[in-house]
Amino acid sequence: MDTPDKTQITPTSDLSKFEDSPVFKYIDSLSPIELAKSKQTDNAFSSLAFLSPSSLFPSPQISIHRESRFLVKRHHFLSPSNSKAPQRGHESNASKGASKADERSNLYDEHLGCLKNDCLSKRTSSDLLNVQPDLATEFPRTLKYDCRSPDDNIELHAEILKNTSMEVAGDERSRFQRNRDGWENRQVQERDLRKICRFQHIEKSAGCDWVAALSDVADMLTMNSSVIHENTDGQDQRAADPGTASFMSTIMQFPLDNANKLDIGESGDPSGSCKQNELAEPVTDQTQNILSTCLLDKLVVRDLGLKKDDKENCNRSNHQVSIRRRCLVFEKSPGFGLHLNSLLNITKDQSHLSKSTPSSMDSGGVPDDKRAAVTEKSSETPATFGGNEFDHNSPEKKRHVDLVEESAACKRCNCKRSKCLKLYCDCFAAGLYCIEPCACQDCFNKSIHENVVLETRRQIESRNPLAFAPKVVRNTDGVLESLGETNKTPASARHKRGCNCKRSSCLKKYCECFQAGVGCSLSCRCEGCKNSFGRKDGGYDSESDGDNLEACERNVSEKNSDIVISKGQENPHLSVLSPDISRRPFAYTGKLATFFPHSLKSSLQLCPTQEQGSSDSSSCQPKFDSNLHGIPENGTPELAKHKGLTLVLKPSSPNCKRVSSAPKHPCTSSSPAWRSRKLILRSIPSFPSLAPP
DNA sequence: GAGTTTGAAACT
DNA sequence: CAGTTTCAAACTC
């Protein structure tokens, strides 16, 4: 990795000056949730796309782009009705965060002494913006430099701040400074308003909660709002990637449009959710590519949701839950998974389910009921899905509850000695807390023992960082696409570690490969492999076809939605309700995959077997098998091939199943760590590059 | 439902 | 790293 350019990180004094500014002091004092989220977000992208020292300066970047983002978005959020948020926040105290922010806003106003009107803190942001509309554009224009690639914006940033400071240091505060102070105040208040609006949006309509989630997508795309803003100014276009801008436009517009459409759906159209699906489809060609990568998860889930909806007659809850869960990627990742249990949390109250999730593990053991906003969003208004209040007697609602109940019932364990704190426990391995249906004894895998769970999990991950990673990864040409190749090689999938079957001939669910519905590879140490999904030697056991086709078909159909499957996640009900494409990235809490939710892109694209469901499962089997032939004989992923890497595997060692965290040279390592790692690495290119072209 | 088989996970 | 033990799911009856 390149040594960071010193010139990019030297202006620490300027930076500290910058961070000492009232704005950032205030921002730092804001909700820790927001702060943490920002950092995470930043880290994710720093480590992913930029790989630059920018990650050293998360706060300014995040803060700035947050503000600038808001400037672009405010016309969405600060509608006249929403602009009343502060008052409501004061009166109803509906949102602690909102009122808290409001209080701080007041304090901040006093501190600055710039807003002399006592009632100003209660003024609507619309009013504020009307006072000096130019301010809203003036400062962001300065901030725009911050929103560019961090590689070259730090100096600019420092320079800007220096200039600003010089102006401030003048005998008389310049108009700019006054304006800036005023702007800061307004930004602070708008920020608070935005929170309030978000809460109110959530409260009023759960269907709008993904608006907030998308806003965090925008958060992550630091440059874009200012880019758009600049475009409107017709000025500096240097960072104006049209695709990105278009993407952001879509992002910004998306919530509004869909909120409206949700409203339409609420107005009584029973097919509202279907409409929503349809309406979401027409994306401009330009943004489509970007969306396909940046928002791929969401859209992908949407697609899956559509397919499921087709089957479920546009089951609204299904689809919207999928979106909701996908949104969590951006809200919460990285960290312990908000996966299935998050979904269950959503409907826990409806269905009287008790399964919960160690979702907040990374956030320091926050109790279930005190999770970050994402979870609050997910779990609140239990009778509300997608902004539509379910008629509790409606078939739709009933179907939804049935699904949830099924899904809850499906994941249960029977552990007796492991206390459900080992990977033996399917619940634990899947990142789920045990629930009542579990027949486990002395179970510690419960939210009340969250600390124990956390610690145990941490230990297991320290021993094997990929312990909670998906065990089966579908390798497609998604990476190849990103590498500039459009190989049409069909989907393939492999158990990362391979099985070690001796007696089951890989024809029973003892075999993890078979269980996951994937063929064996040379990574497997199995003996007498007859895996009907694909034999280790790449062959296809025609003899066993007749006997195993049914089992195979059943197996596949059970996993009809599993794109990435891990042990204990193959339950059909889970798949129906929550395709694993939206599940696994959360469930895997390792440090790699959480950053790469888009690694699923490739999985989705080329997974006809899974997507087509059981009806096609038998026919897809040969396809699948043909894929196996397309895979390197030794199971070496295409990436390695393309990189000219030669992997020397020792599939014979049963200990290969262990994954070491110690890095080895990929070309020489025969450890499963590398095998696992390479599977993840090949997903990295799928992540959209956020760096300016 | 009890008992057996199986292979992953954990341990030494 | 290899061998062994533990474990719980899968399977059989």
Question: Which band of pLDDT confidence, cut at 50, 70 and 90, is reported for residue A421?
Answer: very high
Average pLDDT, chain A: 46
DSSP H or E segment with residue A492: strand A492-495
pLDDT exceeds 80 at position A500: yes
Q: What is the pLDDT of residues A379-400, one digit of tens each?
A: 333 222 233 333 434 454 454 4
Torsion angle (degrees, nearest 10) of CA A428, A433, A434, A440: 40
Q: Which residue has the higher pLDDT, A267 or A327?
A: A267
Distance of alpha carbon A690 from alpha carbon A679, whole angstroms? 22
pLDDT exceeds 70 at position A59: no
The answer to whether A426 CB is within 7 Å of strand C is yes
Distance of alpha carbon A52 from alpha carbon A9, whole angstroms? 10
Q: What is the pLDDT of residue A463?
A: 84
Q: What is the pLDDT of residues A505-535, one digit of tens each?
A: 999 999 998 888 888 888 888 888 888 888 8
Three-state secondary structure call for residue A125: helix
Q: How far is CA A408 from the centre of its chain?
A: 22
Q: What is the pLDDT of residue A23?
A: 62
In chain A, the percentage of residues whose pLDDT exceeds 70 is 15
Token pair 């992550």 is at which residue?
A: A220
Token pair 């029977």 is at which residue?
A: A414
The answer to whether A622 CB is within 7 Å of strand C is no
CA-to-C1' distance for A474 and C5, Å? Answer: 33
Q: What is the pLDDT of residues A251-293, one digit of tens each?
A: 333 333 343 443 333 333 433 333 333 333 333 333 344 333 3
CA-to-C1' distance for A194 and C5, Å? Answer: 58
CA-to-C1' distance for A429 and B8, Å? Answer: 12
Question: Which band of pLDDT confidence, cut at 50, 70 and 90, is reported for residue A496?
Answer: confident
Strand C-contacting residues in A 139-198, CB cut-off 7 angstroms: none
Which bases of chain B come closer than 7 Å to a protein CB? 5-11
pTM of the model: 0.37
Q: What is the pLDDT of residues A288-317, one digit of tens each?
A: 443 333 333 333 333 333 344 443 443 444
Identify nearest nucleotide to residue A415 by CA to C1′ distance. C8
CA-to-C1' distance for A516 and B3, Å? Answer: 27
Distance of alpha carbon A372 from alpha carbon A34, whole angstroms? 9
CA-to-C1' distance for A465 and B11, Å? Answer: 18
**Cβ count within 10 A of residue A94:** 16
CA-to-C1' distance for A510 and C11, Å? Answer: 9
Q: What is the pLDDT of residues A69-94, one digit of tens each?
A: 333 333 333 333 343 333 433 434 44
Q: Which residues touch strand B (CB under 7 A)?
A: A 422-424, 429, 460, 463-464, 467, 471, 497, 499-506, 508, 510-512, 567, 655, 657-658
